[in-house]
Structure 1
């Protein structure tokens, strides 16, 4: 593989990474809004049933190459990070 091909692939990967960060920030903003609405309604912020449903749903729609275990691990990390970020805000 040539240096140009490697550079092109790295740039594509970097663009995907930038998109991932942008989408995670958008998700965090939406969850922050949800937290406010739930608190105003006297509801608990964390809903373990919803988290379980989400993990199941994401594995159902996963078409790979990321494994279902990978999807679950990644989204568990996203859920935990989201909770931490919103606790610190």
Structure 2
């Protein structure tokens, strides 16, 4: 093995480290999925209430305020743009699920 090849493989984590990291990611993904499904259940309940009460189904000001509050609350490494994009996509997805179901 040449010097270049040996150096490039030294920077990669061991198979055990890689497997452990992937397991951790899988656990996080499972938790995210549980939370997303719970959020959808709650929004469906809210949707039914709004329909029965004759309320508007979408509140743009509320959505914008919610996203901005999350941007301000973020203490992690996800950028403000990333937070906005994630939650905007989430809101779009939830709407599609509600209206497509």
The normalised TM-score by structure 2 is 0.86
Alignment of 1:45-84 (within 5 A): 45-84=57-96
Q: Of the two, which has the highest radius of gyration?
A: 2
Matched residues, number: 89
**Root-mean-square deviation (CA), in Å?**
0.6
Give the structure 2 partner of residue 16 of structure 1.
28
Deviations 1:25-74 (Å, cap 9, x if unpaired)?
Answer: 00000000000111111101111010011111100110121111100000
Runs of 4+ in 1 over 4 A off after TM superposition: none
In the alignment, structure 1 residue 26 sits paired with structure 2 residue 47:
no
Give the Cα–Cα distance (whole angstroms) in 1 for the partners of residues 19 and 39 of structure 2. 30
The normalised TM-score by structure 1 is 0.97
Q: Which runs of 5+ in 1 are unaligned?
A: none
Give the Cα–Cα distance (whole angstroms) in 2 for the partners of residues 67 and 4 of structure 1. 30
